[in-house]
Amino acid sequence: MILNMEKDFKKFPGKVLLFGEYVVINGGDALAAPLGNFGGSLKFRNAFQEDNLSPFIQYLGALPNIFLKQDLLEQMEFDRLVFDSDIPIGYGAGSSGALTAAIFDAFVETFEGTLQEALASMEDFFHGSSSGLDPLISYTGKATGEIHPLAMEHFYLLDTGISRKTAPLVEIFRQKNLNTDDLEEYNQNAIHAISNYDFALLKESIEQISLFQYEHFQEMIPDAFRLIWKEVMGDSLLNIKLCGAGGGGFLLMFSNTREYIEEWAREKKLDLIKIKTLT
């Protein structure tokens, strides 16, 4: 290993999907941003690690569009290399995307195709088929669209405490064969409103998304949170929606005021996280 190599390992953030879950499958728009609350970086441990990144590096070495820094690889003991991260796994928060971005930054010399295509082929190792969006957001530190900073003051993550897998939930959605035209319109309105901080339109759009998801995506709402979801829909100062595929992980909360939602969370004994984006 090159001496002092670790000082050159950067920290990469996770990501949060604000709008567009499931409509993207039908070609709708989505808005995702780097999540400053969580992140991770590569680390070398003093001894062999069960969760080392050697299998991932070997996989990358066989990809036809990825060219690794061979002179660097020869000096590395990859059975001691891990991704030191506090990004929750199975939450849709981009844990594998951040890891992919970290490996790309440290060990990829050149690549063929676009940056997103290269990152997608790398993240395929974890998901079988990746869009490359998560690692792209983590690597660039940029959202997929404009986000007004004042608008983000209203957003929070509600921790369900449940880890989940995305693929089975996507299959449930596909089997529903829903007409998502209305949902796509609500999402587009929300994305537009968050870019220029149109509070009234943003709140109205989230209310519409929340109701649509409650009516059509019951399988994606964890059992323990369905009553809470229904109660929030009757609260004029709060809104709730899925944050990604659902089924667990985080739920996305929108509140008129910080004081109100924090008091609400304390009364309900719920874990609430104020979103920090890097935009």
Distances (CA, A) of 203 to 106, 107, 211, 255, 257: 41, 43, 12, 9, 12
Per-residue pLDDT, 235:
96
pLDDT(267) > 60? yes
Helices vs strands, H then E, count in the chain: 11, 9
pLDDT(1) > 70? no
Q: Which residues lie below 8 Å from residue 144, measured CB to CB, with a gap of 6+? A: 30, 31, 32, 33, 133, 137
Per-residue pLDDT, 6:
59
- pLDDT band for position 190 (50/70/90)? very high
pLDDT(185) > 80? yes
Average pLDDT over residues 250-262: 97
* Span 20-33, pLDDT tens digits: 999 988 888 999 99
Identify the DSSP state of 27.
Answer: T
pLDDT(4) > 60? no
Q: Please tell me the distance from the alpha carbon of residue 205 to that of residue 151, in angstroms, as a whole number.
A: 13
Per-residue pLDDT, 5:
59
List the structure tokens of 175: 């089997």
Average pLDDT over residues 6-30: 88
For the chain, what percent of residues have pLDDT higher than 70? 97
The Cβ of residue 78 has, within 10 Å, a number of other Cβ atoms equal to 18
Q: Please tell me the distance from the alpha carbon of residue 194 to that of residue 201, in angstroms, as a whole number.
A: 9
Q: Which helix (H) or strand (E) holds 273?
A: strand 271-274
Domains and CATH numbers, the chain: 5-140 (3.30.230.10), 149-274 (3.30.70.890)
Radius of gyration of the chain (CA): 20
What is the pTM (predicted TM-score) of this model? 0.90
